[in-house]
Amino acid sequence: MTHPAAVWQHLAEAGIVSGTSPPSEPPPPWYVRALLGIGGWLAAIFILAFMGIEMFPFNQPGTMTVVGLLMIAGASVVFYAREINTFVAQAALAVSFAGQTLVIVGTAQLLDDARAIAFAIAALEAVLAVLVPYGVHRMFCAAAAGIALAIALMLSGAHYLSAGLLAAMIGTLWLNEFAWAARGSTVRPVAYGLTLALLAVQATWFARVHEFLWHETPQWLSPQIGAAVPGIVFMIVAAQLLVH
Amino acid sequence: MHVQPSGFHSDRAVVLDWAERGAIPKHRLVDALAVAGVTPIAREWRAFLNRLLLCCGAACLGAAAIFFIAANWTALGKYAKFGLVEALIVGSILAAWKLGIDRLPGKAALLLASLAMGGLLALFGQTYQTGADTWELFATWAGLILPWILVARFAALWIVWMAIVNLAIGLYFSVFPAFLGIIFSPDQQMWALFIVNTLALGVWQMLARRVQWLDERWAIRLLFASSGAILTFLVGDAIADRRWPLTLITYPGWLVATYAVYRQRISDLFMLAGACLSVIVSVTVFLVVQFAAMAAPPQGVFLLTALAVVGMTAAAAVWLRKVAAEPRP
C-alpha cells in the first residue's frame, strides 16, 4: 500500500498520466463493507419488527409489496445523491433491505407459482444490483439475485445448472474487469455478490438441501453435467489468465 | 522517518478508481496497473494455479479414499479397508520425504497424511466398535498428527489442527457435563473454546514476527474471528441471563487488548472492524434485553433499536476510515 500521490507520480513518470494527482475515493476494504452490510441487515430486522408490531397488519400481501417497493424507492433516491453522509447511507441501506424483505414476502403470498416467484425475485434483485448506485447494496442484491436464480432453476428441473451458470457469470465479469473499468463500481460488487451466491449454492448442493426441500421437482439435468460445467468454466478462465 | 497512511485502500483500488473517473485513459489502464505493480503476470498466475490445484488435489485424494471405502463397505474385507487407508498414509509420508517438506508439494503430502489419519481412526472405531467417545477420536487424531504438523512448518496445516482440537473440545463437553464433581454449564464449553483459540491467537501473533512461515494474515485473522465470535456469544449469553462477573472482566480486557495490539503495534483494520461488529452485536442484545424486561415498553422501541444499530455501524465505519488515514511510522 502506497500513498495515492506516490502511485500517481509513478504513473506520470511512465508517461501514462499528466498533471496533479486527482482525488480518489475507492470503496472501503471488504471487511468494512461486510460490517456495513451485516449492520444494515441487523437494523432491517428491527425495522421489520417495528412495522409488523406497530404500523400495519402483515396479512395483506398487496400492501406489503407496495410499501416495500416504496421503501426501496425512497432508499434509492438517497443513494443517488451526490454527497452522502455515512449515517444516512446506512439508514437507507437498512430501509432498502427491510423493503426488499417485504416485497419478497408479499410477492410470495400474491403469486401461487413458486417458480414464478423465484424468477420475479431474481429479476427484481438483478435490477436493483445494477441500478442502485451503492456498493454494499449492489453486492447484497447481486447475491440475492444469484440465490433466487438458483432456486428458480431448481424448480425448473435444472438445479445442477446453477453452479456452472453462476461460475460463468463471475468469470466473465472478472476477466472483463479492466475492459469495463468505466463501470467498475458496478462490475466489482456484482461479481462479489454472485461469488457469495455461488458459495451458498455449492454449500447447499453438498448438503443436498434441495432433495429435502424440493424433492418432488423432477430434475432433467444430470449432476454429471452440472459438475462438468464449472470445471469447463475453470479451465477457460485459467487458460485466459495464462494467455494474458 | 518515512511517514505514510496505514492504508485503507490498496493501490489497485486507487488506480481502478482513477480509471473510472476518467483520470487514466482507457487504453492505458493495463499499462497503469502494470506500472503500479498490482496485476499478476502470467508466470505468477501459473504459480498460483499450481498451488491451488496441488492443495485441491491433495484434499480430493483424501476424500476419494474415504468415499471409496464407504461406497464399497460390504465388498471390501477388513484388511482391504485398513490396507487402503494405511497405504495412503505411508504413501503420502514417503512422498513428503521424497519431495522435501520445505517445498509445497511435500507439505501438501503431509496434509493428505494428516487427513487420512482421521479416516484411519474413524475406520478403526467403526470396525471394532471400541465404545470410545467421539471426542477421543478427534483428540487422538490431533495428538497423532502433531509431530507431522510440527515438522511441516505450514500455516494451513496448523489451522486444520486447530479445527480438530476445537471439535475435540466441543465434543468433550457435550459428553462430559461434569468433571471431578464440578458440573459444567453449556457456556463452560464456550469458555474452554474461547481460551484455547485466544491463546493460540496470542502465541501465533507473537511468533509471527519472528517466524516467517507463520506470518500468514488470513490464519491470524481466522483465529481472531473465532476468538471474537465465541466471546461475543458469551457476552450475549451473559446479558440475557444477567450473569455478569466473568464476562465483565474478560470482554473489556479483550477489547482493550485488540485495540492495543491491532491499532498501536500492528496495524490491522480487519481486527478493529471485527471488534466493532462484536460491540454492535453486544449493545444490540443489551438494548433488546432491557426493552423486553420492561412491563410496558415505550412505543417504537424496535425503531429506536434500528436507529441505534444504524448509528453504531456508521460510527464504526467513520472511525475505521479515520484510523486508516492516520500516519504511521
Cα–Cα distance list, B179 to B133, B173, B184, B197 (Å)? 15, 9, 8, 21
Which residues in chain A are closer than 8 Å to B20, comparing Cβ atoms? 181-185
Residue pair B282/B235 in contact (Cβ under 8 Å)? The answer is: yes
- Residue B65 scores a pLDDT above 50: yes
* C-alpha closest to that of A220 among A166, A154, A168, A163: A154
- Residue B44 in contact with partner chain A when CB distance is under 8 A: no
DSSP B120: H
Q: How far apart are alpha carbons A117 and A115 in whole angstroms?
A: 5
- Residue A16 in contact with partner chain B when CB distance is under 8 A: yes
The beta-carbon neighbor of A94 closest among B11, B26, B310 is B310
Tell me how crowded residue A198 is: count the other CB atoms within 10 A of its CB.
23
Q: Is A25 exposed, middle or buried (0-12, 13-18, 19+ CB in 10 A)?
A: exposed
Which residues in chain A are closer than 8 Å to B29, comparing Cβ atoms? 178, 181
Parallel/antiparallel/unpaired status of strands B182-183 and B178-179 = antiparallel
Residue-wise pLDDT for A119-144, tens only, equals 999 999 999 999 999 999 999 999 99
The beta-carbon neighbor of B16 closest among A26, A91, A238 is A26
Residue-wise pLDDT for B66-94, tens only, equals 888 888 888 888 899 999 999 999 999 99
* C-alpha closest to that of B227 among B207, B247, B199, B248: B199
Tell me how crowded residue B274 is: count the other CB atoms within 10 A of its CB.
23
- Residue B279 in contact with partner chain A when CB distance is under 8 A: no
Q: Give the type of residue at B212.
A: Q
pLDDT band at B1 (very low <50, low <70, confident <90, very high): very low
Collapsed DSSP state (helix, strand, coil) of residue B277: helix
Percent of chain B with pLDDT over 90: 49
The beta-carbon neighbor of A7 closest among B6, B36, B305 is B36
Q: Is the Cβ pair A3, B5 closer than 8 Å?
A: yes
Cell reading at A22: 486527482
- Residue B42 in contact with partner chain A when CB distance is under 8 A: yes
Which residue shows C-alpha cell 498428527?
B145
Residue pair B316/B282 in contact (Cβ under 8 Å)? The answer is: no
Q: What are phi and psi of B184, to 5 degrees?
A: -85, 140
Q: Is the Cβ pair A43, B4 closer than 8 Å?
A: no
- Residue B2 in contact with partner chain A when CB distance is under 8 A: no
Q: How far apart are alpha carbons A122 and B241 in whole angstroms?
A: 41
Q: How far is B111 from chain A (nearest CA, A)?
A: 22
Cα–Cα distance list, A241 to A180, A244, B50 (Å)? 17, 5, 13
What pLDDT, on a 0 to 100 scale, did the predictor assign at position B4? 38
Looking at chain B from residue 105 to 144, which residues have their Cβ under 8 Å from any Cβ of chain A?
none
Q: How far apart are alpha carbons A92 and B101 in whole angstroms?
A: 53
Q: How far is B59 from chain A (nearest CA, A)?
A: 15
What pLDDT, on a 0 to 100 scale, did the predictor assign at position A197? 96
Parallel/antiparallel/unpaired status of strands B178-179 and B4-5 = unpaired
The beta-carbon neighbor of B309 closest among A34, A43, A241 is A43
Alpha carbon of residue B161 to chain centroid: 11
The beta-carbon neighbor of A39 closest among B35, B309, B321 is B309
Cell reading at B275: 471488534
Cell reading at A166: 453462476
Residue-wise pLDDT for B298-320, tens only, equals 778 889 999 999 999 999 999 99
Cell reading at A214: 424440493
Q: How far is A85 from chain B (nearest CA, A)?
A: 9
Cα–Cα distance list, B293 to A43, A46, B289, B298, B313 (Å)? 21, 17, 6, 12, 25
Q: How far is B15 from chain A (nearest CA, A)?
A: 8
The average pLDDT across B123-138 equals 84
Collapsed DSSP state (helix, strand, coil) of residue A169: helix
Q: Give the type of residue at B115.
A: L
Cell reading at B112: 493428505
Which neighbouring-strand residues pair with B183? B178
Q: Which residues, given as ranges, of chain A have pLDDT below 50? A: none
Alpha carbon of residue B1 to chain centroid: 35
Q: How far apart are alpha carbons B203 and B225 in whole angstroms?
A: 15
Q: How far apart are alpha carbons A64 and A106 in whole angstroms?
A: 5
What pLDDT, on a 0 to 100 scale, did the predictor assign at position B328? 59
- Residue B7 scores a pLDDT above 80: no
The average pLDDT across B34-49 equals 87
Which residues in chain B are closer than 8 Å to A2, comparing Cβ atoms? 4, 11
Rg value, chain B, Cα = 25
- Residue B312 in contact with partner chain A when CB distance is under 8 A: yes
Cα–Cα distance list, B40 to A241, B33, B109 (Å)? 9, 10, 27
Interface test with A, best of B4, B18, B305 (most A CBs within 10 A): B18
Provide the angle, in degrees to the nearest 10, between the axes of the packed helices B217-241 and B269-293. 10
What pLDDT, on a 0 to 100 scale, did the predictor assign at position B74? 87
Residue pair B312/B283 in contact (Cβ under 8 Å)? The answer is: yes
Q: How far apart are alpha carbons B293 and B290 in whole angstroms?
A: 5
Q: Is the Cβ pair B4, A238 closer than 8 Å?
A: no
Structure pTM?
Answer: 0.87
- Residue B242 scores a pLDDT above 80: no
DSSP B295: S
Q: Which residues contact A100 (CB under 8 A, 6 or more apart)?
A: A68, A72, A124, A125, A128, A141, A144
Q: How far apart are alpha carbons A238 and A230 in whole angstroms?
A: 12
Collapsed DSSP state (helix, strand, coil) of residue A229: helix
- Residue A22 in contact with partner chain B when CB distance is under 8 A: yes
- Residue B240 scores a pLDDT above 70: yes
What pLDDT, on a 0 to 100 scale, did the predictor assign at position A55? 64
Please report the DSSP string for A37-76 in residue order. HHHHHHHHHHHHHHIIIIIS-TT-HHHHHHHHHHHHHHHH
Q: Give the type of residue at B2.
A: H
pLDDT band at B6 (very low <50, low <70, confident <90, very high): very low
- Residue B5 scores a pLDDT above 50: no
3-state secondary structure B87-104: HHHHHHHHHHHHHCCCCH
- Residue A26 in contact with partner chain B when CB distance is under 8 A: yes
The average pLDDT across B31-58 equals 88
What pLDDT, on a 0 to 100 scale, did the predictor assign at position B252? 95
Which residue shows C-alpha cell 451458470?
A165
Which residues in chain B are closer than 8 Å to A42, comparing Cβ atoms? 280-281, 284, 309, 313
* C-alpha closest to that of B112 among B128, B90, B142: B90
Looking at chain A from residue 78 to 97, which residues have their Cβ under 8 Å from any Cβ of chain B?
86-87, 89-91, 94
Interface test with A, best of B291, B313, B318, B320 (most A CBs within 10 A): B313
Which residue shows C-alpha cell 466473568?
B246
Q: How far apart are alpha carbons A21 and A4 in whole angstroms?
A: 8
Q: How far is B199 from chain A (nearest CA, A)?
A: 24
- Residue B209 in contact with partner chain A when CB distance is under 8 A: no
What pLDDT, on a 0 to 100 scale, did the predictor assign at position B256? 96
What pLDDT, on a 0 to 100 scale, did the predictor assign at position A159? 87
